[in-house]
Structure 1
């Protein structure tokens, strides 16, 4: 690994490469808090933005495993009179795979960084998102094609809360974070971040506190560390979070080419053998790429809008070509 290092120019965050129990390399760059002058470290918590969707999908699949939901369950069956523009044929499976065709409150095919339609401080629980999700007509019939849908994952969080009778953040904690040993992960309030959490910064130097919901839900807002994300992949593939049959559903290539040659399963991006968590938003970039045959994880977490996906991909490629021996 001596000659295998990421491009760190202009980066602000942490990049980590691990294989099994071995840390192959970790690089912490820039400040977690510019006012206090606190540096980023390998232990710093970062926002994951849409990387949260992987945990949402697993939470929902765990409810499938418990018999509380099925992939074929119509969303309308749980939503009742709420969100009436969601078509009757939209199912849990469609929402998980971004093939529901429902209208999106934040349509990335139009503007991935559009301002929210309600004050962010009002978004302090999953039910509080309902007014923001309402009023968007169907884009296309369910199952017709892939179209990345942020709102669909908030709908999944609403459904999960209702069938389990438990707040969404608590569901993710008990069904994903705790089984995976992810002790540093959670859904903190953006105006009450715990110590050791990076503040997200926009390109103009301001923080992202007025851009993102005060408490995240199914499509974003979870925070984690590079260590926790490596633990996550190991726990997932060892069957410690959900049954292997449900892991297979998560990682099944539902859409072979969702974007730039990447496939998509149900909450996970797929690039050949690599499984990926990917997220980006105002002042947040998160990419965790795991290669199951060698138990290698490369994660880049940033608290500024800096190129991260390419850095992580290139570092993984360099590690694999550097003679990494597959884990037994």
Structure 2
């Protein structure tokens, strides 16, 4: 959620996007076959469990699905340290900054309806945004507004650690952000900021006349067949759920964060989903097409979404609420206790979903990126994720974004 790190890209902790030239995502690349034969599966089993041991990860759920072919779906470790129950693909989990893919989809649907213009100033739709007459809707969605990321505010971070059950309103979050000057003039560079997506959530509410959770339920989750996905209005998570573990506490003690209130992430990181739903969602997100053949977004709007711009991070690009890492397109997510990877490799017809139930990254950097790097080096060596350094931009970005060689310790939540 992010910044708990951009997690994005993907919320989370660090961001790994490469210096990509502007242009559409490489969906038209030559077909590339991925074979998950028994030998590859065994290598994956061994490499993942070794990485988990070294990084002290309680549990990992992973699905690498190849359209119409063999897939690799595994659960290692546990979904609940108290009971030892393993992670299953239908268990609920908090997905952090992957939420941004849904919120921005709502904005783009309003663009298709002719109710919002991507290149209109945000002040056209929302009052009270500092410099809003010079910040476009597009710049909010592509993380180029320059607005300060509220999850970087030290007082906010102290408040979150002191009371992780507090219910935050979008206005409270924006008030924190707007106390700070802009980090740079709009459009001049890329910087992951959860403030951008909170504003876009309010834009959806203002233009649609519906609460964001209702709009997403009716216009995104339902059409996409995502029966287990929701934007909660409280702290509860449905059962059965994956327990998430964090040390984001005043004394650094590890605790179960499952019942922490995710309201501080809202449109930027509060969605609850399952591995199965994310498996269904990622191909829709990347193609713009629903399972029944209808379109989630018009072709021109989908092309705008996939126009990846440089982030200044190695091998990472960012579009409109979506990122590209080493050819994989999707988003990462992170918030206390949870890290998520949800990506598609179009030329291989492959979808990758990873759930890690801890955000205690330490010396290994972003843990979900560590697992993604481990998996892709074996299964898709031509499109292997770079090793995590900090965290992906959510892949994000965590505070800053995704990861790199020698990770820096996490100091803020992502998204």
Normalised TM-score (structure 1):
0.86
1:186 alignment partner, one of 212, 230, 236: 230
**Pairing 1:297–2:344 present:** no
d(CA) in 1 for partners of 2:310, 2:81: 41
Report the Cα offset of residue 168 of structure 1: 0.9
2:79 counterpart SS class: strand
Q: Which residue does the alignment assign to 1:239?
A: 289
Matched, 1:251 2:298: no
What is the aligned-residue RMSD (CA, Å)?
2.7
Secondary structure of 2:334's match?
A: strand
Give the alignment of 1:1-328 within 5 angstroms.
Answer: 1=36, 2-4=38-40, 5=44, 6-8=47-49, 9-10=52-53, 11=57, 12-22=59-69, 24-80=71-127, 82-83=128-129, 85-107=130-152, 114-116=157-159, 121-123=165-167, 126=170, 129-188=173-232, 191-203=235-247, 204-208=253-257, 212-214=261-263, 216-236=265-285, 237=287, 239-240=289-290, 241-253=296-308, 255-305=309-359, 307-320=367-380
Higher relative contact order (CA 8 A, sep 6+): 2
In structure 1, C-alpha distance between the alignment counterparts of 2:96 and 2:115, rounded to whole Å: 27
Larger CA deviation: 291-300 vs 203-212: 203-212
Q: Distance in 2 between matches of 1:216 and 1:13?
A: 23
Aligned residues of 1:99 and 1:143 also touching (Cα < 8 A) = yes
Q: How far apart in 2 are the matches of 1:228 and 1:207? A: 24
Aligned equivalent of 1:325? none
SS at match of 2:220: helix
**Cα offset for 1:148?**
0.7
Unaligned 5+ runs, structure 2: 1-35, 248-252, 291-295, 362-366, 383-415
Q: What SS class does the counterpart of residue 329 from structure 2 fall into?
A: strand
- The answer (yes or no) to whether the contact 1:120–1:214 under 8 Å persists in 2 is no
Task: Give 1:205 deviation, angstroms.
Answer: 2.9
Alpha-carbon distance in structure 1 between the residues aligned to 2:259 and 2:227: 27
- Of stretches 21-30 and 167-176 in structure 1, the one that deviates more from structure 2 is 21-30
Q: Distance in 1 between the 2:134 and 2:109 partners?
A: 22
- Equivalent-residue separation in structure 2 for 1:47 and 1:211 (angstroms): 10
Q: Is the CA contact 1:298–1:316 (under 8 Å) kept in the aligned structure 2?
A: no
TM value normalised by structure 2: 0.69
Shift of 1:34: 3.4
After superposition, the Cα gap between the structure-2 partners of 1:7 and 1:36, relative to the gap in structure 1 and judged at 3 Å, is closer
SS in 2 for 1:224: strand
Structure 2 residue matching 1:43: 3-state secondary structure: coil
Cα distance in 2, alignment partners of residues 129 and 143 from structure 1:
23
Gaps of 5+ in 1: 323-328
